[in-house]
Structure 1
Amino acid sequence: MKMEGIAFCTTDWNSVEKTEHPGDPGTAQWRTRTFGDSSNPIRVRVVEYSPGYRADHWCSKGHVLYCLEGELETTLEDGRKFILTPGMSYQVADNAEAHQSYTATGARLFIVD
């Protein structure tokens, strides 16, 4: 990730429109902003997962993910599982380790990718 062409700005996340993304089961609501050059955009999101949400896919996109609320279980394709609680994060590179998210209780996350 190369952060170029981004002027200083602030974001009021409460004013960013939500988009809904289905899980299997459950839903994810994203508030998304994109920054930087169109050839190397940086996506920044606040994501809220409903209780019982499970991603409907294995993700190979790199992220920096920070847990704001709730609890998130992340399973890697090799079977390892990691639990994030508020104040914890994970980092993974593009195409490094496919991962899938699940939350029994719901979770709110801050994600940069």
Structure 2
Amino acid sequence: MNKIHFTAIDWTTIEKTVHKGETGTSFWQTLQFDGIRMRIVEYSAGYLADHWCTKGHIVHCLEGEFESELSDGDTFTLQKGMSYIVSDDLSSHRSFSATGVKLLIIDGNFLAQP
């Protein structure tokens, strides 16, 4: 991973892309650095991810509430101010939000298994 120089980010200038879920919609604002992806992600009310994800993430809830469901049946509810972290290939997980949520998500090579 290369060094990242000090970078101030004005998220209001980052374009939103639309991603349909199994139900609902997510909106991503994405910055890509060498080996690191940083996103503000918003889920609409009723959003359910259309896939089980095995990628590692650091997820911080900025606004609202969502559930992270693991393939083993465990479910974790995260609210504003809460976070989770998982490395690549250590769980299959998907997100659901009944009321909508805004998240900061960081992932990249640093979460890969050796």
- TM-score tier, shorter chain, comes to over 0.9
Partner SS state of residue 41, structure 2: strand
Which runs of no fewer than 5 residues in structure 1 stay unpaired?
none
Alignment-derived partner of residue 49 in structure 2:
55
Partner SS state of residue 12, structure 2: helix
Distance 2:23 2:7 in 1: 36
Alignment-derived partner of residue 67 in structure 1:
61
Alignment-derived partner of residue 111 in structure 2:
none
Alignment-derived partner of residue 19 in structure 2:
21
Q: Give every structure 1 segment of 4 or more consecutive aligned residues whose post-TM-superposition deviation is greater than 4 Å.
A: none
TM normalised by structure 1 equals 0.92
Amino acid at match of 2:27: Q
* Count of residue correspondences: 107
TM normalised by structure 2 equals 0.91
Instruction: Give the 5 Å matches for 1:1-113.
Output: 3-36=1-34, 41-113=35-107
Alignment-derived partner of residue 112 in structure 2:
none
Amino acid at match of 2:19: H
* 1:36-71 superposed Cα distances (whole Å, 9 cap, x missing partner): 2xxxx2000000000000000000000000000111
Greater per-residue strand proportion: 2
Partner SS state of residue 71, structure 1: strand
Partner SS state of residue 96, structure 1: coil
Q: CA deviation at 1:83?
A: 0.3
Which runs of no fewer than 5 residues in structure 2 stay unpaired?
108-114
Q: CA deviation at 1:90?
A: 0.3
Amino acid at match of 1:88: M
Amino acid at match of 1:32: T
Distance 2:89 2:65 in 1: 24
Distance 1:95 1:108 in 2: 24
Percent identity (aligned):
53
